[in-house]
Amino acid sequence: MKLLSIVDSLNEGIGKLVSFLLWAGIVVLCFEVVARYVFEQPTLWAHGYTQRIFGGYFVLVGAYTLLRKDHVRVDLLLNVGSDRWKAFLDLVNFSFLVLWGAVLTYEAFWFFEDSWRFNEVDDSALRHPMWPVKLAMFVGVASITLQGIVEAIRSIILIITPSADVGRKDYSRSAAK
């Protein structure tokens, strides 16, 4: 259980840290709007940076979203069964997530590595390096996959012992009140 909590803490920390990217993106967008419409001097760089900021945010916050159980779910089958049934369905879902994540993590690493090695740049006038975006993709997908493994382990524990304490924080909306 200690290892599961460590992964949870890691992904919670990454998620909270990455959440500040939203503020950076907002600042860049506001700067661009003022530059374009007030001073009639649009920037060359703002569009590319906002894409990178929000793209990095989107992929890096995925594991935190999974940890908090905030991904969109179709609960038609989950609301009509026992705790073991719910844990079993979660195990099936997390198994597919881990399979998808393992393949994507592998490929994302090689995308990053090629980008780094060949000093890949985008096709904009400023020729931004592409490796930071690909590194964010690798780290984000790896953390989602790791959190998926943790959630699959929790599901196995709950299938065996439905009343077990699986060391999970309560992120429900009602707990915040």
**pLDDT confidence of 177, banded at 50, 70, 90?**
very low
The beta strands (E) that lie in the chain are given as none
Of the chain, the percentage scoring pLDDT greater than 70 comes to 92
* CA–CA distance, 115 with 177 (Å, rounded to integer): 46
Instruction: Provide the residue type at 163 as one letter.
Output: S
pLDDT digits (tens, 9 = 90+) for 57-92: 999 999 999 988 887 776 666 677 788 888 898 899
List C-alpha distances in Å: 7 to 39, 47, 95: 47, 34, 17
pLDDT digits (tens, 9 = 90+) for 4-24: 889 988 999 999 999 988 899
Q: What is the pLDDT of residues 141-173, one digit of tens each?
A: 999 999 999 999 999 999 998 787 777 666 555
pTM value is: 0.84
Single out the residue of 102, 106, 90 nearest to residue 158, CA to CA.
90
What separation in angstroms does the CA of 4 have from each of 69, 95, 138? Answer: 16, 17, 21
Instruction: Choose among 145, 140, 155: nearest CA to 15.
Output: 140
